[in-house]
């Protein structure tokens, strides 16, 4: 029995900074999950995953993350991914500090 496809977002870590990043519809990476492409088709998800994985000079650890559309854009469905959206937890930096330049 095949499983029903659930919506996904392509995610990875920025190779240099290590930040969590997400693939946008235009093929660019963003640190803001709200701007990520929510993919609702399995074939498109696999194609977008391949696109993201081909960007080896920029990203590491590319994979598909389960997500749902929230009121402000995609939102994670698993606690691990929700935790990743908040950035490092050992001290306030990264996404835990307001970033005006991103």
Q: What share of the chain in percent tops pLDDT 90?
A: 63
More confident residue, 97 or 7: 7
Q: What's the whole-model pTM score? A: 0.80
More confident residue, 77 or 44: 44
Q: Which residues of 46-82 are buried (b: 16+ CB within 10 A; e: fewer)?
A: eebbeebeebeeebeebebbebeeeeebbbbeeeebe
pLDDT band at residue 60 under the 50/70/90 scheme: very high
pLDDT tens-digit readout, 44-54 = 999 999 999 99
Contact 30, 85 (CB under 8 A): no
pLDDT band at residue 102 under the 50/70/90 scheme: very low
Domain locations in the chain as residue ranges = 8-89
């Amino acid at each position: 029995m095949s499983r029903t496809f659930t919506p996904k977002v392509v995610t990875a870590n920025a190779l240099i900074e290590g930040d969590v990043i997400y693939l946008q519809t235009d093929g660019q990476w963003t640190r803001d999950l709200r701007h990520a492409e929510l993919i609702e088709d399995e074939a498109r998800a696999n194609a977008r995953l391949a696109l993201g994985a081909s960007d080896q000079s920029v990203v590491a650890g590319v994979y598909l993350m389960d997500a749902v559309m929230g009121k402000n854009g995609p939102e994670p469905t698993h606690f691990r991914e929700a935790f990743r959206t908040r950035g490092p937890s050992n001290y306030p930096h990264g996404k835990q500090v307001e970033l005006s330049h991103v």
